[in-house]
Every structure is written in structure tokens, then in C-alpha cells.
Amino acid sequence: MTSNPDRLNGTPEQHQGHRWYGGREVRTREESIDELLELIWILREKGVTDLNSLLQNTTDPEARAVLNQMMGQGLFEMEGDILKFKEKGESLAEGIVRRHRLTERLLMELFEMSEEEAEEEACKLEHVLSPAVTDSVCSFLGHPPVCPHGKPIPQGPCCKKLTGEMKPLIRPLNDLALGQEGRVVFISTRVKDRLEPLSSFGVIPGIIIQLKQRRPSYVIQIGETSIALDESIGREIFVKAV
Amino acid sequence: MIFNYLTGTYRVVSNYPGTTVEVSSGAAKDNAFPFTILDTPGVNNLIPNSEDEKVTRDILLSETDYRVINVLDAKNLRRGLLIALQLIEMGLPVILILNMMDEAKSRGIEINLKAIKEVFGLPVVAAVATRKKGLEHLFPALKDCPKSTFSFQYSEAIEGGIASLLPLLPPAPISGRSLALMLLAGDETLRPWLEERLKTPEMEQIEAICSQYRKAYPESLSYRINIERLEKIDQLLLRIQSGERVSVQGWGRRLGEWSTHRFIGFVWMLLALFLSYEFIGVLGADLAVGFMEETVFGGYINPFLIRLVKAVIPFGIVQELLVGPYGIFTMALTYALALILPIVGFFFLIFGFMEDSGYLPRLAVMSNRIFKIMGLNGKAVLPMILGLGCDTMATMTTRILETRKDKIIVTLLLALGVPCSAQLAVIFGMLSGFSPWIVISWAAIIAGVILLVGFLAGKLIPGESASFILELPPLRWPQMKNILIKTLSRIEWYLQEAVPLFILGTLVLFVLDKSGAMASLELWARPLVVSWLGLPAESTSSFIIGFLRRDYGAAGFFAMAQKGLLTPNQVLVALVTITLFVPCIANFFVIIKERGWKMALIISGVVIFIALLMGGVVDWGLKTFSITL
């Protein structure tokens, strides 16, 4: 289900909260609950908390029934026509939004998917990612504070565990400290002529390189070989600090 | 080094890639051994990324019935084996020489030679070439040179590509398997070779297969192939190499780090420049030139020759031709041997020192940012520095640059603004009597023009600029013997190349002078020289002779300045113009050779235009702001 705030400005027909398998609409009750939790969360971010707006913004034909079930499960309560999360619902919703936004970020920034594709995938993955994988993705991305649309990503246990600076697990070679070693995870370059010479010098995923200096040019060391390179190439070599 | 040992001759050996751009050959000195030995450029990969790698690969393709001596750096075994693996794939008889074993040992790397022999089934020689250790095993090993028994499988998709290409390939001295891999890797440089041997439909089939397989690997199939090779090597290394790697914090490494440090590196660079200037300028230009010109030539040789010629040859015209003001002995040879030779010699010594110590690539690191402005990268510093010695030679070394665009820009800048040491010597000699402001303005103007033209050329010339990826060899204390031999071979080259042109240039001047053509040329060019540049009409001859050798042109002005015919302002204008003026004839021929007629003419046209424009601008500027230097 979409969390793109721009689509929630009172045009409900765009809100596709269902998927099609062989032309038959399939949506489990769990997924419906998830979608509604997410929607409540997103609306609350915009300062909208009344039941009417919620019902206007959802495409789920059974929204009322599902909401009743959720009330029964103690996920939220009503104060007049204002929805308020209870602790359980809050943490569930937080989890869903977190998974959705982290996935968006992963797909758009790293895999360079279009916004639509990333959106569609994030909608599927928000229901299935396990906490462990979610935290790995979060660490991998360096505990990003916001999604690609600039909405806050709720913090997970992995972010809270970190005291002091938050360093992503995998980062460009340029971000290593001087003298620090990193293992190359992948090289993502758009310039064709770069992979060739790099691999001829032995720079391939799995190899350990040490950053020797930044200025006036970047100098890296692999075993007994020192290589000087452009700053732009260093940005394309992603390493995991050793 | 090993080549020199094998042949007993000397070839230029150096500490940075791109020295052996040409291929040297020599006969083996062991008489029981009728071999010709070819020394090819050092490579990182046999799927060529650069001209020198292509040269090596082409030799493997074109020669038949040969053996390959593969020299590996023992401390960088992983990279060395990448080449060895490709040679083995080609199905060639190979001998592996593990050089620099001493350095590997000091770094705690232990190499199991037996394991290498077992894995590859090849003879292996451990050596320290600089001390000739281990090389005695080389000749015996050459006598019996088996093909390797080693082979390995790539991933299925790549193997599939090889299998479907094999039936289409023409016979070659290297195995079809390796050719297929080169093709899959998208090696464009192989195309001409194939087109000679195959018909169009077969070529198209090959193209189709390659592109089909290449599509499967978005990142690039050649990279994939490299990765699989390296992964195999890493597996093998577990058996071959052991020992804890000790990081050697010797003075060499520390100096190496300092030499590219953002602050210390600059201090070093300035120091290096200053020392070079002292060495070339003071020792070379002042002392050596003074001694050669005034004492040797002026005091002994020329007076003797003049007397001899006048006594033996009765014809006035021939006398003048030989010892007159435009005489072959008095002008051409005196300039070439007394004025230019000492400076070029000293320059080559310094350059050789920088080369052998491994400092040159570090200069590339320091200057990368400046060259980025010009759409180039740090690698361009090597030809540019060499240009200060001799532009002709430097233009040849543009081959170490990867892309056509880089080559064109550097060639243009060399022809335009890098004064060769011969010209520099004359310029410094000329400026010694004038205020330092002239030197400073001259240097600033030339540097500014180079930067600006480079910037514009980088913007205007279509094409890709190469990425900056450069290996930094360890800093070493160079062997003086090497440097001396290298300098001598370069001086030899210089004399062969320069002296005939000096004589030719002098002849042209002599003819122009005697036939009165000089006078009419001066008349014709007078408006340009006199009104646009504000120089005396006599200086026209300096420009004309500048076509033949840059330093000749400058030398003409030098003579005028000594006679007091030029005001300080005119000195500056003359110097700026002549420094930027056309490349000398030798350089022009090399540009034709390297870049073709059309480009050579374009470059020359651009250079003449900019030179005259800048000269005029400087003249106008000085007059407008009534500056007197």
C-alpha cells in the first residue's frame, strides 16, 4: 500500500491497496490490517486523525469491518471520532512504515529503480520482511533517517543500539578513515572503462584495500601495490570496513 | 634488466609503465642459443587497456614459434599470475621468473616454488635481477620449455561462449580458446586482425555471438572474466604463498608516502624543481655551456676550422657556407654541440633519476587536479615533463595515454607551450641580463596560455576523457649506472635526430640569406612582425628559423638581445611569441606519425595563430598600460 503522501490528498481512487493474482483480488486479513495501520500512521504524520478522513483515503471495501477487528485486538482506540494508537498498534504500524521506507530507499538508491517500481515492491515487502533482515537493511544503508521522499523512517532496535556516530556497514571507499582497511563488496560504476583497469590491478569484490591518502589524489594499497585514483572512482567502490 | 642480461646490451629500463613503448630486440648472447629476444612493454592485462598493452598482445599474435619469458614481481604475485594465466591459456611455452625475491622475503612473503611448478607444470626461476641473482638458471630453462598442463574452467555461460566461437576462429599462434575469451571480453583492438583473416558473414556471426553473451552480463563480460581468473588465482595462492605479511616501514615507503602527501608532497615537488633547475640551469646552462661554447668551440675548434677552411678552399661562397655567419660549422654545429647538448644531457640525467626512483608517477598524483582542469588526468604529467627535455620525444610517449582525446590535447599543448630544454637554455641565457620581472611575466603568460588552451580543448574536442588509475611503484634509490647508460642512449638519439636538422636549418638560412629571399620574406612579414608584435624587422629571420628548431628561433633573438637591438619589452614579446610558436620540424613529423597529416596541420595552424595572437596581446598590453620592464 502506498505511503506516498502526495497521493493522499483526497484522491482515493489512486490508492491501490490490493494486488491481482490471475485476475482475482487476493488480500489476506493480515494484509488489510497492515495497510490500515500504515494509513493511520501516514495520516497522523500529516496531522489528520479523524475516522472520516481515514475512510475517505482507503480503498479497502471492508475497511469498517477490519477496523472493528483491530479495535477488538486492542490496536487502537477511539476518542470521539479521533483514532488513537494503543501501544501494540503503534509498534506494529511503526514496523510496517519502517520496512516500507527502508525498502524504498534500498531499491531506489542502490538498485536505482524508478519510483513506481520501488513503490510497488515496497508494498509487497513491508508485509514479509523479518525483523532481522529489516535491521540488516537498515545497517547496510547506514541507518538512514528519512525515506527518498524525505519522510522520517522510524528507528529500529539496530539504530537505538548504536551510540555515537552511525556508520553504514557498506560505504564508499572514500569514507574510510586514512589507513583503514576495507573489503570490497561491489563496484558500481557507470563508466565502462573503469572496471577493466581496476580488475587488472586486482581490485575486485572480496579483496581488502587500505586507503592511504585523500589528497591531492586518492591512493589505495592492495597487498604490495599502490594505486592512485580519482575521487570519483573511489566513490564507486563500496567497501565494508574490516 | 633481464633482457639486458640475456642479450648483453642495454635498453632503457625504468620504474614506471610506459618506458618501453617501442619493442626492443636483441640476439641472445649465449652462442649455443640462436634466439632473438624481444622485450615488450610491461602489461597488467592482455586484454589491452592501453597502447603498450596492445603492442605486447600484437606481438604474441604475430610472431610464431616463440617462448615467453614472463617476469613476475614476487611480492605482487597475484597480479603477476593474472598475466601468467592468460599466457598459459594461449597455449604458449612459458617460463616464469619470480623477480624481486629479496623484497618479497623482507615483507614476510614466502613463496613455494615447488607448488608453482606443480600447479602450472612450468619451469620457475627465482631471481633478483638487479643483483643478477638466479639469472644463471634462465638459459638452461629456456632450452627445455614445455607448454603448461594447467587449465581451468570458467563459469558455464562463459564456457558456452567459448565453445560457440571456437569453430569460427582462424588459426593463430595462440590458442582459439584465448582468442575467444578476448572476443567475449569485447576487445575491439582485435578486429583488424580478424578482418584480415575472415569473411564478412563469419565476422557477423562472431559479432552476434559476442553481443548475445555480453548482454547476459550488465557489468561487462570482460570484468566478469577477470574476476573469475582472479578468484582462481586466489585459490591457487593458498597453496603457493604463505607467511604473515609484514608491512615494511622502511625509509622507501615512508618517503613514498611523503612524496604524495598534500603538503609535504608540494614542498618536495618545489624542492625537486629547484634542484633540477640548479642542476640543469647552473651546471648545465652556465658552466657546461660556457666552457663548451667559449673555451672549446670559440677558443680552439672554430678558429682552427676557419683557418683550415680558408686555407684549403678558395671559393668564397663555400667558405661562407662552412664557416660564415650562417655556416655549418660556425652556426649549426656550434649550437648543436656547445649550446644545446650540455643542457639536454643534464636534463636527461635528471629525468632519468626521477624515472628510476619512481618519483614521476607521484608527480602525476600531485598534478592530477591541475590536469583535470584541462580535461586530462595526472598521467599527462609524464609527457609534459618529458617535453621540457624534448617535445619530439614527448610526443611519442603520448602513447601511454588511453584515449584519443587525451593524446590530442597533450600533443597540442606540447607543440604549443612546453619549451624544450634547448629552447629553455637559450631563453634563460637571454634573460640573465634583464630584470626578473620579465622571467616572471613570461612564465605566468605561458602557464596561463597552456591552462586556458587546455581547458578550451578539453571542452571542444569530442570524446571521452580517461579515468585516472595509476600504479605507484615503490620509491627506490636508482642505480647510477642505469641512469648514465640511459642518458647516453637518449643523447645519442638526440644527436642523430637534431644535428641533421640543425645543418638543414642552417642551409635553408644560408640559401635564404644569399638569394635575397630573406630580405623579401622580411618585407612581406614586416607588417605582422613590426606593427602587430612591435619587434624589429630583423627578427623575422628568427621566426622563420623557428620552424626548423624552436631553440634556433630563440637563439636568433638571443643574438639580437646581446647586440642590444631589443628593449626589455620587446624581449618579453619576442619570448612569448617564440615559445608558443610552431613545433620544430622533427616534432611536426612525429605528430604526423602519431596523429596523421590532418591533425598535424590543424595543430600547427592553431599553434601559430595562438602564438601571434598572444604576442600581439602582450605588446598591446604593455603599450596600453605603459609598462616598462
* Cα A156 to Cα A134: distance, rounded to the nearest angstrom: 9
CB A211 within 8 A of CB A184: no
Distance (Å, whole) CA B226 – CA B215? 17
Interface test with B, best of A213, A224, A227, A231 (most B CBs within 10 A): A224
The 3-class SS string of B372-392 reads HHCCCCHHHHHHHHHHCCCHH
Q: Is the pLDDT of residue B48 over 80?
A: no
Q: Which three cell numbers stand for residue A127?
A: 508485509
Using a CB-CB cut-off of 8 Å, the residues of chain A touching B227 are 199, 204-205
pLDDT-wise least confident of A207-216, B24-33, B386-395, B509-518? B24-33
B29 has pLDDT over 60: no
Q: Among residues of chain B, what percentage have pLDDT more than 90? A: 4
Mean pLDDT along residues B338-351: 80
Q: Is the pLDDT of residue B44 over 70?
A: no
- Has residue B19 got a pLDDT over 80? no
The DSSP output letter for A206 is T
Grid cell locating B265: 608532497
**Burial class of residue A103, CB neighbours in 10 A (0-12, 13-18, 19+):** buried
- For chain A, 242 residues long, the average pLDDT of each consecutive 10-residue run is 41 41 57 86 83 83 85 84 85 89 84 82 85 82 77 78 58 84 80 75 82 84 83 84 78
Identify the residue with better confidence: B548 or A156: A156
Residue where the block lists cell 552511525: A166
For the segment B97-110, what is each residue's pLDDT rounded down to a tens digit? 888 788 777 777 88
Angle at alpha carbon of residue A66, lines to A64 and A71, rounded to 5°: 95
Mean pLDDT, chain B, rounded, equals: 78
Tell me what percent of the residues of chain B surpass a pLDDT of 70.
87
Task: Please measure the distance between the N-terminal and C-terminal CA atoms of chain A and give it in whole angstroms.
Answer: 39
At A59, list the grid cell: 480503498
Query: CA-CA distance, B486 to B354, in Å (whole number)?
Result: 12
pLDDT tens digits for range B218-265: 667 778 888 888 888 888 888 887 766 666 556 666 777 777 777 777
Q: What global pTM score does this model have?
A: 0.66
Mean pLDDT of B422-430: 77
pLDDT in tens, B374-395: 888 888 888 888 888 778 778 8
Nearest to B78 among A197, A223, A229 (CB): A223
Nearest to A196 among B223, B369, B474 (CB): B223
What strands, in cross-sheet order, belong to the sheet with B68-73?
A: B68-73, B94-99, B124-126
pLDDT recorded at residue A168: 66
How many Å lie between the alpha carbon of B470 and the closest alpha carbon of chain A?
5
User: How do beta strands A237-241 and A181-187 pair?
Assistant: antiparallel
**Is A228–B45 a contact, with Cβ atoms under 8 angstroms apart?**
no
Chain B partners within 8 Å of A226 (Cβ) = 256, 471-472, 474
Query: Mutate which of A181, A196, A214 to disrupt the B interface (most B C-beta within 10 Å)?
Result: A196
| Residue of chain A minimizing CA distance to B361 | A228
Q: What is the mean pLDDT of residues B353-362?
A: 82
Q: Chain A interface, mutation test: which of B73, B240, B467, most A Cβ atoms within 10 Å?
A: B467
Angle, alpha carbons B332-B338-B339 (nearest 5°): 85
Closest Cα in chain A, distance from residue B236 (Å) = 15
Over residues B416-422, the mean pLDDT reads 82
Residue in chain B closest to A229 (alpha carbons) equals: B469
Instruction: Label residues B129-151 b or e (16+ Cβ within 10 Å = b).
Output: beeeebbeebbebbeebeebeee
Asked if the Cβ–Cβ distance from A228 to B260 is below 8 Å, we say: yes
pLDDT beyond 70 at B540: yes
> What angle, rounded to 10 degrees, do the helices at B221-240 and B113-120 form?
130
Residue from B558, B247, B408 nearest A179 by CA = B247
Mark yes or no for CB contact B468/A233 under 8 Å.
yes
Cross-chain Cβ contact A229/B402 below 8 Å:
no
**Whether the predicted pLDDT of B312 surpasses 70:** yes
Q: Is B470 in Cβ contact with A200 (below 8 Å)?
A: no
Interface of A with B (CB under 8 A): 191-202, 204-206, 212-217, 219, 223-230, 232-233
In B188-301, where does DSSP find H-type helix? 191-197, 200-215, 221-240, 251-259, 264-277, 289-290
Q: Which residues does chain B have within 8 Å of residue A198's beta carbon, measured at their own beta carbons?
A: 469
DSSP B484-504: HHHHHHHHHHHHHHHHHHHHH
